A and B are shown apart, each in its own frame.
Chain A
Amino acid sequence: MNDLLFQPYRMRELTLPNRIVVSPMAQYSANADGLVTDWHLVHYGSLSLSGAGLVIMEATAVVPEGRVSPCCLGLWDDAQVEGLRRIVNFARRPNASYMGIQLAHAGRKASVAQPWKGGAALSESEGGWKLWGASAKPYPGREEPICPDATDLERITESYLASLRRADEAGFDLVELHAAHGYFLNTFLSPLSNSRDDQWGGDIEGRMRYPLEVFRRLREAWPAEKPMGVRISVTDWVQGGWDIASSVVFAERLKVLGCDYVAISSGGISPDQKITVGPAYQVPAAAEVRAQSGLPVMAVGMLSDPDVANRVLIEEKADLIAVGRGMLFNPRWAWHAGLTLKGEMRVADPYLRCHPSLRNLPR
């Protein structure tokens, strides 16, 4: 099919009308209690009318110390459900997107200022907090994180579960577990950040143990009809770090646990990473994980050209395409892609008047 990007895609009982996903992107615009603001309503409301099949909301913290910044969203408290439910309800209209949410813990990279304010580490006196990591190994330049013991880990897992329950209450159609970009779960996976000598460290089995345990328990708790995926950093881009081969193993294990897709991002564990960025630069790794693990993959990263995105699908390198900055730049990206690829444009009724094929309808 020439317009594969615009063909439906099914995961469990969720049939996405097309393969276009709005990638989760932190907005750093929550209030001090981790609550959504009108920024989120406008931002996600608009994106839900973008024509994408699925919008995944930004990294949302399962505990307060799991926020990247004091302005990140949270789901550690029941009071945080209502604002998110309002956004999900907004998207319950014809031709709007399905809504997913990314559950996250920022680990040893938490407690920083908004990036446009410099992104510097915040001390506790500046409104920051103590960091957590798989081991007491700091991200270079940051404070040493607290290394969780078994009790801590159980508490954190339960926080993930409580947040998951709230995500279900808010009505989300899909959950994505954030295990990428150097955040908490990623610090377990990577040998660069995990020097534990207990059951949660050491060889790849040990390092995968906690993230897989979290996924397993979340999957068991999440309604069987709703899909759940995991975002991973497919490589640390550092010699001796986590790599594509490790990701294949991880994906195989996730598949057994009922994971519906892995989103293939990369990097974030070390400032020593050597990345060659360019259009579709993470797609080769996505294709490899897909081919070797048999798990569906979501490609992400510099995929804002619809022809490139469509070709990734046609060449069977990925199953879904996540578009991030392309959507920020053009909030009707999927309409415009539909014109390019002659795919079906999903347009909410009030916007039909601007549909190129309908310009002669009465306004």
Chain B
Amino acid sequence: MEALFLSPDGGVLILGWVYDVLDAVAWMRITGADWRLDLDGPCLARVRRADLPGGLGGAAEIGYFGLGFGDRTIGCAGAAVVEIGLRSGVVLAAEATPSVISGEQIREIALAYIARAHRAGEAQIRTAGYLGHGMGEQLLALNRSIVGRLVASPYLERFGPEVGELAGSIVVCLYGKPEFLFLQAALFSNRPGIGAYEFIYVLNSPELAEAVLNEARSAAAIYGLAISVVVLAGNAGFAAANNVAARVARCGRLLFVNPDVFPKDPNWALRHSAVLLSRPARETTLFGGTLYYDNGSLMHGGMYLDLDVGATFAREQASRWGLLRVEHYGKGAPPDDAEATRPRPVTAVTGAFISVERDWFEALSGFSIDYMLGHYEDADLCLRSLEGGVAPWLHDLKLWHLEGGGGTRQEPHEGAAHVNRWLFTTRWQNAGAAGLLGRNPAHPLLSANA
């Protein structure tokens, strides 16, 4: 056992390795002063550990990590006893002194471990396998607890002019980069029609609150925009942050916009308002726009689902798995690609820009907060909309999406992407049967107007 972490709110994370190639781990039990965690063997994530001496871990998955979360307060004082039961009946036991950390730190370590395990050669499908054996649910429970705490008391401050009748509330979740606030304020302002929109910035990094509030105050004064800032107590993730911000919006039309999205068309705001006025309600209840890279090529013309199928082998047994993948129509295509940019119903639109009727957004209960940090919650929202009878649409509202420098991301975010893909697949495993797969989905709401 290499580390045992506890969080007072009920998180338990254990990391280590066991050479159980000949006699497999059947269960693990960790016992503390007033708590006990039982994990079945398959609940433990198993990974290769090339870092272990003697080449033991290079080929076999002898590394493990286990996670438990019971939504309760646990006593963290004192030693804990870790027992590992092997199939032969042998029980290994050791005493461990836990390190006490926050729930967020447990989540971060677990996600980073998932990311590292993946990079060490584990297929995503293999990752999904152990998530599906219980660890995924434990992570979700831990995350829900964290998010609930972080969004409980948001701080709100408003700057700029009093708002009159609004055409939309633009909600932006900042990703720890205050500069996007002043850049968006500058580049969205001074354009026809923008005076009918308010901006709501939601900040997941309270340590940046002073800088962001300062920028918002300046930006409101320089550009004459109505800007609100919502500060959360920590990183609640994209979904929860946007949901909180939506609650303080003062308009019945919500626009969820990424901080690295900027208007390409100077008349963008007028066109958005015109779409709302001129198109039937079924085409505007929830819709996205055409997004472009800085190099001029198309970045997004709607999204569709695909399925990756693969098999994994564990203890000489094959398991077949399928994982859903979200793809963009027209990614990297010439900017005038008629097929990708024409107004039409699509399976989903990117969360980088979603315009949605507030009532419908609330009826859908907003973004699902189960998706950690950020990934797949946009497609999930769109599929729930479809399920509710409203197809997402794409309209040709041109915006830049400067989604670049894209090769690397922090380990917790990479781990979260794996967890979210597993979760998305689990939730939408009937996508094929529902006619939601592929570039030309058969779903009646999508095919009728396609």
A binds B: no
- Chain B residues near A (Cβ < 8 Å): none
Residues of A that sit less than 8 Å from B by CB: none
